[in-house]
Structure 1
Amino acid sequence: MRGSTRVRRRMLRRHADLSRLPLNFDPDRHDMSRPEDGWHVDDYLQPLPAEPPGPPTPGGSWETARRLVRDYEHADPAIIREVYRSGPPEPGKDLLLQGRFYGLRFYLGLRIHDVVDGHIEQDGRTARVWGWNYQTLKGHLERGQMDQEVRKWLDTGEVEFHIHVFSQRADIPNPLVRIGFILFGRFTQLRFYRRACRRMEKLTKAALAAQRQPPEEKPA
């Protein structure tokens, strides 16, 4: 969290206030794997540098991508910037983001719902998976849930970054903001997902390349 001491204190108060807010939708009323009337389902898959088949390689692509996903590094700060979160993702913890939307700034509250750490079976294949998701709180511009995870397919060594989002526009009291979101919100959503995929590929490759560089020799 950057800025002056006064700004940091204000953000801490904003984050603390999130604990009193309910979700702005009822997850139990929806199957978030499929579209519903008035709701969007977005699913993105970004290949990352592969590893040899088998469990994740220590310090390899999967572990590197896992760290990036844990720290929310895939979010493009030109669109969404993490303001405050108390530690690593854990169910029930709150997350305060700042959305940047055509020159405006919005504080967005979310609650972490679940952390996935294990294996999945799909079409007879097994993948090692780590990820987490969050759900929107009252006052957010959207309703819904976003899942972000990294997978490694054990049979081939393929590593992937996966985003799955179930969302719709929330009730926005401010008429100017509401009109702006109707006109540009969906475009900004999709741009955020695409940029998140590109950032994950770029950051993962850069981190792996940095590990391969020999340490600089100290002058005698």
Structure 2
Amino acid sequence: MTDDVPPRERQYADLRRRAPNFDPDAPRTGRGWHVDDLRRALPLEPPGPPVAGGSWEVARGLVRDYAYADPAIVRLVQGAGPPEPGRNMLLEGRFCGLRFHLAVRVGDVVDRVVEVDGRRARVWGWNYLTLEGHLERGRMDQEVRKWLDTGEVEFRIHAVSRRGPIPNPVVRLGFMLFGRRTQLKFYRRACRRMERLTAAGLAERRRAPVRRAG
């Protein structure tokens, strides 16, 4: 790769050589691991399959585009596009006035009907795994669900994580003091942002002029 390639693009190209910084198949429980599960109710739909142009469809687009992430905390800098298994993404994380590049890889993309406690829900979502060099180890799932019996729509984040190896002692100390707080702030803001953006997307569709056939 030539020297005139921007550093960020060189770093992104290097991600293909990085492996996950944890064993995805090993149990992720016990000391040091955090398990977080957050849900946010989104605008209701009628019972049954998702409605064209409705809350679930709008929210699915936001989840697909990683639009729920608050750019004041985490933003995507390389690897944009629909999530596909194996796609690498380079994120920029911010805390304590510092910026860090965070490498992740898309794991699974889910589009199916699931049954939970006798209830059926249409689910669309995806997850990513942290790669070598990330400040954390773990996996985060993000999805939008519609419960077919009631029409309830929700955004869900499920994450399992722990602090990764951080060679720099100053960064390590900062992450020990503020990393978990920033992580939880990201989850909470993502949920609120999803609710706000979904409502805004629905309002924009309602304002759009009706197109007539012919």
TM-score normalized with structure 2 length = 0.93
1:89 equivalenced with 2:83 (yes/no): yes
CA distance in 2, matches of 1:50, 1:152: 9
1:18 equivalenced with 2:15 (yes/no): yes
For structure 2, the 5+ residue unaligned runs are 210-214
> 1:131·1:149 contact (CA, 8 Å) conserved in 2?
yes
CA distance in 2, matches of 1:37, 1:66: 34
Q: CA deviation at 1:86?
A: 4.8
1:67 equivalenced with 2:61 (yes/no): yes
Residues 65-214 of structure 1 correspond to what in structure 2 (within 5 A)?
65-214=59-208
Instruction: Look up the equivalent residue of 2:8 and give its one-letter code.
Output: M
Q: CA deviation at 1:85?
A: 1.2
> 2:48·2:151 contact (CA, 8 Å) conserved in 1?
yes
Instruction: Look up the equivalent residue of 1:103 and give its one-letter code.
Output: G
SS at match of 1:27: coil
For structure 1, the 5+ residue unaligned runs are 1-5, 216-220
Instruction: Look up the equivalent residue of 2:136 and give its one-letter code.
Output: E
> 2:65·2:81 contact (CA, 8 Å) conserved in 1?
no
Q: CA deviation at 1:214?
A: 4.9
> 1:15·1:95 contact (CA, 8 Å) conserved in 2?
yes
TM-score normalized with structure 1 length = 0.91
CA distance in 1, matches of 2:121, 2:191: 19
CA distance in 1, matches of 2:21, 2:54: 39
Q: Moved runs in structure 1, 4+ residues, more than 4 A?
A: none
Q: Percent identity?
A: 66
SS at match of 2:71: coil
> 1:15·1:96 contact (CA, 8 Å) conserved in 2?
yes
* TM-aligned CA distance change 1:195 to 1:117, over 3 Å: same
SS at match of 2:82: coil
CA distance in 2, matches of 1:7, 1:82: 22
Aligned residues: 207
Q: CA deviation at 1:84?
A: 1.1
> 1:23·1:136 contact (CA, 8 Å) conserved in 2?
yes
